[in-house]
Structures are given as C-alpha cells and as structure tokens.
Amino acid sequence: MADPKLGVYICSDCGIGGALDIEALENIAKNQYRVENVQSVPFLCSQEGTQMIKDEINNQGVNKIVIAACSPRVHYDEFDFDPSKYVTERVNLREHVVWSQMGGAEEAPEAAAEAPAAAAAAAAPVEAEPAAPAVNEFTQEMAEDHLRMGIVRAQKSEPPEPAIMDVEKTVLVIGGGATGLNTALESAKAGYKVILTEKEAELGGWARKMYKILPDKAPFEDVKAPNIDEKIAAVQAHENITVLTGANIDRIEGMPGQYDATISQNGSANTHRIGSVVLAIGWKPYDAKKLDNLGYGEFKNVVTNVEMESMAVAGSGSIARPSDGKQAKRVAFLQCAGQRDPEHLPYCSSVCCMTSLKQALYVTESDADANAFIIYKDMRTPGLYENFYKAAQNNPGVMLTKGEVTSITEDGTGNIVLEIDNTILGEKVRVEADMLVLATGMVTNMLPEGVEKVTDMTPEYIGQWKETETQDGIIKEVIADPVALNLAYRQGPELPYLKYGFPDSHFVCFPYETRRTGIYTAGAVRAPMTALQSANDGVGAALKAIQSVELAAQGKAVHPRSGDESFPEINFTNCTQCRRCTVECPFGVLDEEENGTPKTNTSRCRRCGTCMGACPQRIISFKNYSVGMIADQMKAIKVPEEDSKPRIIALICENDAYPALDIAGLNRIKTNPFYRFITMRCLGGTNLVWIADALSAGIEGFLLIGCRFDDDYQCHFIKGSKAANERLGKVQETLSRLMLESERVQQVQLAMNEWDQLPKIMNDFADQLKEFGPNPFKGF
C-alpha cells in the first residue's frame, strides 16, 4: 500500500459522548500516536459522518481507518471501505465499554457486580438542574485502553494480498444415488461441468431398489412409485455431465479450484482436474446379524426393513414370507431395532418410522384382510410427514402400539410370537404374526468396514487413522482402509469423523461443510434422511461446491470468515520442522515436505490462525493478524501502579464470546471494568508467548473466553477452542519460571446465548486474582 496514514474517528452519540471524555480520547490519538487526522462527530454512521471519512480518504490520503464507535457486528455497510486498499479497525466503545459500564464519577467498581435494577437507580438524575455529565474514571480508562489497542492494531495491519488463482469449474460428485444425481443436475444447470462417479454398474442407488417411496409432495399422505429413472435420464442427457459407472477414486490431491482426481474404471485410470468435491455415497443398513436377541438369523420369518423392501419389489407389493413362500397376512414391525441403543446404534435414524408405515401399507394394499402391527418406542414423523402418520392411523388394517417387546419366539408353524409390555393402556399384549420386520437403522457409508462398533468412531480419529502424541512425536495408527476419497493429505486419506462415522462439521451453522475445504457431504452419508431430504441436500451441497471454487479464484475464504482475503505467511528460514502447525490445523491445510517443512495449500485455508498460535517460533502470521500485533496491543494497555486498578486481559473469540459481550451491552448488563478485550479469530490462535510477556509487564491475569469444545462443540473452527485449552495445559512451566500462580491464566467455554453469565464469570476470576495479591511484576 501507499505510505500509511492513519485516521481516527470517534462517535460521540448513542451515549458515548455523555459517558466519556471525548477530548481526552482525541488527545491520546494526537499526542501518543501522532495521528494528524482525528475527528469526533455525533452519529458517525450517518451519511454526514461516513462522508467525512471518505473525504479524508480521498483528499488527505488516509488509508488506515480507526472507527471508535459501535460493535463491528453492526453498521458494517456504512464502514465498508475497500479492504484491498484500506485497513479498517473497529473499536467497540458502545457495547463493550459505555453500555456495559457505570456512568458518573461517584460510581465504585464494585457496582459492576450489582443487578441491573440497582444500576438503573444509580443512573437516575439527582438534580433537576442540568449539568455536564460526570465521567466514570474506570469507564474512561477502559475506553482509552481500547482506543490504544485499536490504533496499534491498525498500525500493524496491512491490506491482505489475495492469492488469486486459476481454477477448474468442474464439480466431482461421488455417488450416483438420489443425492448425487440431484447434485450433478443442479451444478450443471449453474453452468459448471460435472464428473459423476458411481462404483456400481448403474445409477440410482437405494431409490432404484424401492417398491414405493415416501410422499414427496403435499399433502404428504400417499406413497408413490419411484421416479428415479427420470432423474437418471436427465443426468445422462445433460451435456455438462460426464457419468462414470463402475468407477473408484484412487487419489485426490491438491486444493479447492485445483484438485487432481485419479479415477479408475474398467481396469484403466485417468486423472481429471476438478474444482471441488461432493461426497454423496449414502448409507448402508445396520448389520442385523448383531441383533440375534431379536430373532434375526434364528427364525426365518424375522427380516429387516431392507429385506422387506426387496420382497415387495419381487412380489409387486405382495409379501411372501421366507419360510414357506406363503403370503404374509399378519406382519409385525418392531421399531428401533438396534437403534437408540448404546450397544448398537446410539442414535435415531429418523426415517425408519416412516419406512415401517410405508411397508405396513404394502401389507394392507395387497390384501384387504391383511393386518400390520407396528410396535414402537416413539413414532417420529417430522414436519408434514405427520399427515402420512395420520393417514396410516386411519387405515383399519394398521395397528400401532407403544410398548416394549419382552419376548420373541417361534411356534410350530413358523409364526413369530411377540410378548409386549409397557403399552399405552398398561396391559401386556401378545401378537402372533406371519412375519416380523426389524426396523434397523442407517449407517453412513463413511464408516470403514474394519470398525466393529459405530461408537468407536469419535473425533480423535483423523481420516482413517488415529493420531497419538508421544515424546517421540506423532504416532499414526491405521484403523481401516480408505473408504471413498483417498486424499493425499498429511492428516489422512478420508474425512475426519464427528461421531459414529459421520463426517465432522459445524453441524448447526455449516451442515454441508467438512473439515476439508472444497469437499462437501450431502445426503445420508452425513446424517440419516429420506430420499426427498437427500435430494434437497444435494442442491445445497452443489451451491457450496460452486461457491468454494468461485471464492478460491478470488483468493477469498469460503467460511466462516467468508470473503477474507488474508492468508498465513510462513518465514521458512526460521522453521524448525516441529510439525506443530501441520498437526494442529483443524482443516488439513498444511502438508509436509520430506524434511517436515510445512507445505501450504492456499485455498484449503479457513483463516482461523490456529497455526499461528501453534508455532513456537512465531514465524506464521497474516498481514492483518499476527503474534506481534496482539503482543503490541497488550503492551498498549496502560497498567496503573495502584493495586486497586488491576488489569486483566480477556482474549475473546469473535464468533461466540464477542457477540455475547455485545448482547450483554445491549441489555445494559454491567461487567467488571478492569478487563481489556482483545478479539481473536479463534482461541486456537493463542500463542503462549503473550502470556509470559504480559504477566511480566504487570497484567494480573488472562481469561480466555471461547466456544464450547469436545462432544457438543460449537467452535466455528472445529477444534480451535480445544487446541487453546490443551496449550494452556503447558503454561504451568512458564508461570513457575515467573514465580506466579498457574490459576492466573484460565479458559472458560461460553455459548453466545449465555451472555447473562458474563458478569459472574468475569467477577469470579477477578476475585480469584485478588486473593493471589498483586502481580509482583507490576511497576517493573
């Protein structure tokens, strides 16, 4: 960029000017940081305010802009100056300072812990005669420190230089079932080329093996014949789609926009340049051989719901029982067979209840005198499928009862006898049926064949191997052969797991995303769902696959920092090949050279900064985010000599902790005035050097406030918050060297909707620091 010229612009409205000494803030910028362009106006977000900033940019060459006003989560359009030319730093004086602190010189810091009602009473006017608003000492000091940190951050930032690249606008769709077919069609309609691979000899997947499918249109009451052949014909006829059946993926290497996929078919292999990948390989039924307690494998007339479907296809709707080929006139269905069971499938497959209702209709439609009995724990028919449930209830041949099957036996004729307890009426029920259908669950095809129990597949498994850190380095334990992708990634050939073999993603916010940028999952491979849901899921995945390629071409991140043009830069000269960055990156961005030097893959990066925090040499940085920048922000905090004015640094995650503080401010919840907030892209970027430097400079303590991690994690960067927590486990040595208590550094997990807990969290930590006594380094 041109010679840097800083401009500081302070808003004095929304209560800011009434609570703070604006002139003192201006003087900090002018005198301490020699900023020539310093302005304060009411409502900086107004047309007048934003035009004033634009005039100084255009006429006076300002290219680093500090906006000291409201949260960056609001008015972002008003302060959206071209990030490729200008640095814009937002200092949150409104929500994080003025609205969350006491006003008036008479207020004591202890008031921060009091209830909002007391705060309102304290803020009530005492005199009717107008007077200049008193400025609270602690609130003013907080605002001044935050302004200093914002100015330093702007000084240390440079506009990012996007890694623009040539991309291939082709989507590789793996799996030719309902999901894959829809993904291929929608991608092709958007103008992208598609390579659709299917390992079987024909397209269609499970949908082609169904006698009838669930309702897919309002009023969602009647089953219908499969229409998958129409979809197959549309795919085969589309000029932008290349179909490869009997095909397998031998290897995928590269990065979004520039992947090379080696695909084998009919004994030969070819490499194709592709831009992104959608994995739509579907599901498989749970192995019913493990359900011998339910009679499967012991009694011929006990079958699974998948086998029942095949029987309906073979008999054109008429069901012939396996033992003697006679038409089954009384068929029992047992729901949750091996599901919601910690010994088998701990989860509900969500589709099985509707499948049993559908198959019960096969029985009654093929013979008006036939009956179907459905025994359930709970019937789950979400959304408009409730109409389908009601339609089945109204069928005189279908009986549903809640209950627990206590016994399954076979009589001399091959009939299955079920004893049922805990029914709705409280009575024991005995059902004699020609057949019993077990509603077995859906297992993702991501689950390797070598894994016996789905409960073994937890986040500690990376791809198809488990990584264990030892004194001798990282040990990789292979647990199964690759399933579908065969990625040439340092972190493994397949997608990392969340639970039960399902691919890991931030399920609530980014359901299609995996931990491999540019590779998306859709359909039942990522979660149990119906064919209709899977087809719709394929549309969403197609849009994400296209988006990743388009943004890769512009050098921008896809998510969650969508549009971010920065990228970590590595000073390889000082790299010690410790492998911390390649191991800790949640997204497999970095591969390794033979000597262990990290190898970058630009468009894989999510810009979280976890690598920056992992590096002990501090050689990884972004142009607008670095270890040195955060360290200088901490140095900008003015540490008073008085013990009554402790300074506590809170590193806050931008995705949960920051908005939680915003919401607390919006609700005028008062927080402790001695905290200074430094925003992190993710707590995974926390570098331990900051802690030693800041504590040795007199800071009383560090509180890291980030997303929840482990089983119910909410971290937008998957495991950044957990990585920070693990790193803090190693800070004891540093604190012992400084002769300080290890409890001076703590991390708390906070969801955005837990904003009301912030005062207690902050006050409890401050009280604990007070018990330790002042930091002995204060004043040195």
Residues of the chain by 3-state class (helix, strand, coil), percent to 5 = 30, 25, 45
3-state secondary structure 319-371: CECCCCCCECCEEEEECCCCECCCCCECCCCCCHHHHHHHHHHHHHHHCCCCE
In a domain, 166, yes or no: no
Q: Which helix (H) or strand (E) holds 8?
A: strand 6-11
Q: What are phi and psi of 15, to 5 degrees?
A: 90, -5
Rounded to 10 degrees, the C-alpha dihedral 534/540/542/547 comes to -160
Residues 274/254, Cβ–Cβ less than 8 Å = no
Among 405, 422, 441, where does a domain finish? 441
Contact 569, 620 (CB under 8 A): yes
Whether residues 149 and 72 share a domain: the answer is yes
CA neighbours within 13 Å on the CB side: how many for 160?
A: 22
Q: How far is CA 337 from each of CA 78, 348, 700, rounded to the nearest angstrom?
A: 57, 10, 57
Report yes or no on 197 lying in a domain.
Answer: yes
Examine residue 255 and state whether it is found in any structural domain, yes or no: yes
332 has which bridge partners?
373, 436
DSSP string, 155-208: HH-------------EEEEE--SHHHHHHHHHHHHTT-EEEEEESSSSS-GGGG
CATH of the domain at 640: 3.40.50
Omega before 346 cis (within 30°)? no
- Whether residue 641 is found in the same domain as residue 773: yes
Helix, strand, or coil (residue 377): coil
Is the residue at 558 inside a domain?
no
**Do 773 and 639 fall within a single domain?**
yes
Q: How is the beta sheet containing 247-255 ordered, strand by strand?
A: 247-255, 258-265, 268-274
Q: Among 301, 336, 523, 308, which Cα is nearest to 441's?
A: 336
Coil, helix or strand for 750? Answer: coil
Largest CA distance in the chain: 100
Q: Which of 89, 171, 70, 254 lies closest to 541, judged by CA?
A: 171
The residue behind tokens 């079932």 is 177
H or E element in which residue 540 lies: helix 531-553
pLDDT in tens, 130-178: 444 578 999 999 999 999 999 999 999 999 999 999 999 999 999 999 9
Distance CA 516, CA 489 (A): 10
What is the extent of the structural domain holding 59? 1-159
Does 384 lie in the same domain as 434?
A: yes
Q: Assess if residue 290 is contained within a domain.
A: yes
DSSP letter for 744, please. G
| pLDDT tens track for 702-731 | 999 999 988 778 899 988 999 999 999 888
Could you give the CA distance from residue 71 to residue 69 in angstroms, rounded to a whole number? 7
Residues 528 and 601 in one domain: no
- What is the C-alpha to C-alpha distance for residues 321 and 414, in angstroms, rounded to an integer? 10
443 beta partners:
284
Considering only CA atoms, give the Rg of the chain: 31
Q: Residue 268 burial by CB count (10 A; 0-12/13-18/19+): exposed, middle or buried? A: exposed
pTM of the model: 0.90
If asked whether residues 182 and 145 sit together in one domain, one would say no
Q: Is residue 750 part of a domain?
A: yes
Residue type, 147: L
What value, to the nearest 5°, has the Cα angle with vertex 625 and ends 619 and 628? 55
Angle between helices 688-696 and 627-636 in degrees, nearest 10: 20
Q: What's the CA gap between 558 and 684, in Å, rounded?
A: 19
The DSSP output letter for 115 is -
Q: What is the total count of domains within the chain?
A: 5
Distance CA 62, CA 37 (A): 8
**Interval 215-257: pLDDT, tens:** 999 999 999 999 999 999 999 999 999 999 999 999 999 999 9
| 140 and 24 Cβ atoms separated by less than 8 Å | yes
User: Do 207 and 354 lie in a common domain?
Assistant: no
Task: Return d(Cα 769, Cα 534) in angstroms, integer.
Answer: 53
* pLDDT tens, position by position, 500-557: 888 888 766 777 889 999 999 999 999 999 999 999 999 999 999 999 999 999 999 9
Residue 461 is predicted with a pLDDT of 56
Q: Are residues 616 and 630 in the same domain?
A: no
Q: Which of 92, 125, 159 is the last residue of a domain?
A: 159
What's the sign of the alpha-carbon dihedral 89, 93, 94, 97? positive
In a domain, 559, yes or no: no
Do 645 and 742 lie in one domain? The reply is yes
Dihedral pair phi/psi, residue 453, rounded to 5°: -125, 135
The answer to whether the CB of 335 falls within 8 A of the CB of 305 is no
CA angle 554, 558, 559 (to 5 degrees): 150
Q: Where are the alpha helices (DSSP H) in 639-757?
A: 657-666, 688-696, 720-728, 732-737
Q: Tell me, yes or no, whether 564 lies in a domain.
A: no
H/E element, 627 = helix 627-636
The rounded distance, in Å, linking the Cα atoms of 404 and 419 is 8
pLDDT confidence of residue 422 = 82
Q: 3-class DSSP state for residue 51?
A: helix
pLDDT at 699: 96
For residue 183, the domain's CATH number is: 3.50.50.60
Which stretches of the chain drop beneath a pLDDT of 50?
A: 105-132
Backbone dihedral angles phi then psi of residue 18, each to the nearest 5 degrees? -80, -20
Rounded distance between C-alpha atoms, residue 207 and residue 212, angstroms: 9
593: domain CATH number is 3.30.70.20
- Sort 131 into a burial class: Cβ within 10 Å, 0-12 / 13-18 / 19+: exposed
Rounded Cα–Cα distance for residues 765 and 471 (Å): 34
What is the distance in angstroms between the CA of the first residue and the CA of the last residue of the chain? 38
Residue 125 and residue 54 in one domain:
yes
- On whether both 700 and 751 belong to a single domain, the answer is yes
| CB of 502 closer than 8 Å to CB of 442 | no
Structure tokens at 186: 């929608």
Tell me the three state secondary structure of residue 37: strand
Q: How many CB atoms lie within 10 A of CB 723?
A: 26
User: Do residue 384 and residue 435 come from a single domain?
Assistant: yes
Last residue of a domain, one of 159, 191, 218: 159
User: Which residues pair with residue 747 across a beta bridge?
Assistant: 704
